Amino acid sequence: MKQQSTVAAISTPLGVGGIGIIRISGPDALTVAARVFRPVGARRLEDAPGYTALLGRVFDAAGEIDDAIATVFRAPRSYTGEDVAELSCHGGLYLLRRTLRAVLAAGAQPAGPGEFTKRAFLNGKLGLTQAEAVMDLIAAQGDQAARSALSARDGALFARIRAVNGGLLELAAHLSAWVDYPDDEIPEITGEEIGAALRRARDGLAGLLSTYDLGRVIREGVETAIVGRPNVGKSTLMNLLAGYQRSIVTDIPGTTRDVVEDTVNLDGAILRLADTAGLRDTDDEVESVGVALARRRLETAGLVLAVFDSSDPLTGEDRALIESLRGRPAVAVINKTDLPRRIDLAWVSERIPHTVQVSAKAGQGMRELSAAVNEVLGLHRLDGGAALLANERQRLCAQRAAAAVDEAISTLDDSFTFDAVGVCIDEAIAALLELTGERASEAVVNEVFARFCVGK
């Protein structure tokens, strides 16, 4: 699908930087760029071949704006599949905005959010899951998120979906031919063969759906509650993980009364930390509110860092907390290991398998804590090239496809006609084609790209 308009936008983050880029894409991109850019020497921008960079200056009606480099990409060998010109000038916000105004005055239209990637999708340069991966790559906060997004952008998820859908398409074609042309010499397909093909598709979709939770953790991070009794070192641990003093640390029990939050990257695991008030019974009205908030965070957290004082014996509150965490994603953090140990370490580790010993004050034990967190979250098993469902749209499409395949299996088992089975298979195929974008409605496409930033 070809776009008729020529659009432009600032493609680099707004602010002060060494270089800023104005991207122009569309049938008149080179003509528009040539109206504001004057190359050094006799070369003309309009005549430049693709993958060419020209040194020159950009101008508007008032005069010279800045030195610049114009990079030319010719359709279809460009990011969008259209003619593209990129003007790279100094990265001051005033210079970029003035250059963009000159480009718009020369005939371009302002690009909308995700306009360039949307055109790449519409022109067949990217599938929809690959386009979504571009935004995930931009938003990546850690190594795992970046590698996962890069894998999806390179087509790993698209290929995995295609593999499942390919089997369904082959089955649908065989059923359709056998039903529509019963008198032709088409090899008959048996119910056992249909069932086997459907079960393969069901297994493939189940495997795909099982990646969603891990994909969400990698992309968005995990809500992580730091909990424990007062003065076990929760705030010291919070500050150590954050890399600066995020929480107030004193020897006075009950110092933390509100929930203190921060986001950290712990060796690729993105943790949305919440340092909570110490868990204890208290008559202090303000502290009791903080304790109630802490208990709510404990209940809803995707990961719990339960902190205990190595120099103190376990209390009834400690034991109750440990028992409540059985079977949950949790790490027992035995803190203050620089002091003589009095805690029953074996009792803790029997109930919380991932137990580590640290001294948050001395900064010791962080490697062990990181390894435990990655193991609890399943990140240690992650293949950097694995295909993961990345968002709710993708999950819902895969879920619809799985439900349709289940319905096809039930229809087959109930001895309905192959024609009825084919209807269910067609529904599964439609859901997967929507997932990849090969048969997505305009509304779905617009919703996907509305989440992009302008300039990408």
Alpha-carbon distances of 295 from 150, 274, 316, 388, rounded to whole Å: 38, 12, 16, 32
Across 95-141, the runs of DSSP E, i.e. the strands, are 109-110
Q: What is the dihedral of CA 140, 144, 147, 150, to 10 degrees?
A: -40
Annotated binding site for GTP: 231-236, 250-256, 275-278
Which amino acids are annotated as binding site for K(+), given as ranges?
231, 250, 252, 255
Amino acid in the structure at residue 9:
A
Handedness of CA 83, 87, 92, 94 (dihedral sign): negative
Q: Which residues sit in the known binding site for Mg(2+)?
A: 235, 256
- The annotation places the binding site for (6S)-5-formyl-5,6,7,8-tetrahydrofolate at 23, 86, 125, 456
Task: Kindly report the three-state secondary structure assignment for every residue of 27-77.
Answer: CCHHHHHHHHEEECCCCCHHHCCCCEEEEEEEEECCEEEEEEEEEEECCCC
> Which neighbouring-strand residues pair with 54?
70
Nearest to 39 by CA among 52, 51, 59, 54: 54
SS3 176: helix
List, as residue ranges, the binding site: 23, 86, 125, 231-236, 250-256, 275-278, 456
Q: How far apart, in Å, are the Cα atoms of 456 and each of 8, 80, 196, 263, 449?
A: 10, 10, 44, 25, 10
